[in-house]
Structure 1
Amino acid sequence: MAELEKRGCDHVFFVGFLGAGKSTLARNLGRMFRRRYVDTDRLVERRAGQSVTELFGAHGEEHFRRLETAVLEDLSSERSLLVSCGGGIVETPRNIELMHQMGYCVYLDGDLDDSLRQIRRSDTRPDFKSVEHAAGLLEHRKPLYEQAADLTVDIRGASFTDVSYTVAELLLERGLL
């Protein structure tokens, strides 16, 4: 497998639907390779002093998305981060552009059943209103994830450990870890 040319800050962004395991993956790989990892939702919460749920409730999704873009822009001053992205980060075309300028996007491609198994508390996920709503949201976002993806990993039925090793191998082969 050929190495990929470095982009911008040399970040690796993990995108995918709710419950895809993006945060777990970034944390696992960060520990395995002694690389810093961040979560865009946590960075937004820190910046706003409110949880994602509170932000959605008090200010709406549009406000949250603006903060999300600002957080991504701030990452341009960092180097070689593993970045777990919120499930809706691809809703803003500018975010996809920023991620491609600063590094590479890995899409964790799962199905709704995978997500539902991982979503233990829907009250902490403001864009999860019902199974039917989630199905529609996944259908809407899937092409956006595919557009953002430099690399795609099928996570259907795989454990977090298996996904971590698969992604580590994929990134190492391409010189991204």
Structure 2
Amino acid sequence: MSAESIFLIGPMGAGKSTLGRLLADVLGRDFHDSDRIIEERAGANIPWIFDLEGESGFRERESQVIDELTQRTDLVVATGGGAVVRPENRQVMQDRAWVVYLRTRVATQLERTAKDKNRPLLQRDDPAKILTELLAAREPHYLALAHLTVDTDDIAPKTLAERIAQEYRIAHENA
């Protein structure tokens, strides 16, 4: 029997990829990272896609990948932080997946992303301001879409993956 896929949403640096791999292991599922799929298909990294196609080109690629992944079952998927900006992405995730919002503080995001040059939206002055603005714009979408919201700041990733798996099982045992 197949089961609903789990999509992890939240800002960059929330731990979506790390937790996604762990959660997939706990549940015995395949893990997919939407950003990595986009890079593989484009044959280029995300900063290059942003430079060549702009954010809108990247978002179009992202929508295609999210639509495809939401049509599959038994997956754990880490999405990009901005996956929720497009209404069509929110709709397919809401209709076809169990969504977990990984919430984190801006200070934690700064620590986790400080050395990562693969994040085009942070390659500007004042990353703290950018992260704060992005969170203000996106958090209403994260909260409205999520079946479960968990804070990732002060908990070990393995412990959090086990907690999310438990919450998923509880939510689906009577479904």
TM-score normalised to structure 1 length: 0.88
Cα distance in structure 2, aligned partners of 1:125 and 1:10: 30
1:31 aligned partner, one-letter code: D
Cα distance in structure 2, aligned partners of 1:144 and 1:170: 21
Selected match of 1:54 from 32, 45, 48: 48
Q: Which blocks of at least 5 consecutive residues in structure 1 are unaligned?
A: 1-7
Detail structure 1 runs of 4+ shifted over 4 Å in the superposition: none
Partner of 1:169: 166
Equivalent residue of 1:135, what SS? helix
Could you tell me whether the CA contact under 8 Å between 1:40 and 1:72 is conserved in 2? Answer: yes
Could you tell me whether the CA contact under 8 Å between 2:27 and 2:165 is conserved in 1? Answer: no
String of CA shifts for 1:138-161, please: whole Å, max 9, x gaps.
111111111221211122322212
Equivalences for residues 70-149 of structure 1 within 5 A: 70-128=64-122, 129=124, 130-149=127-146
TM-score normalised to structure 2 length: 0.89
Cα distance in structure 1, aligned partners of 2:160 and 2:6: 15
Report % sequence identity. 31
Cα distance in structure 2, aligned partners of 1:156 and 1:21: 9
Pick which of 111-120 and 42-51 moved more.
111-120
String of CA shifts for 1:109-144, please: whole Å, max 9, x gaps.
111012122114241111223221111111111111
**Alignment length, in residue pairs?**
169
Q: Which blocks of at least 5 consecutive residues in structure 2 are unaligned?
A: none
**Cα RMSD, aligned residues only:** 1.8
1:135 aligned partner, one-letter code: T
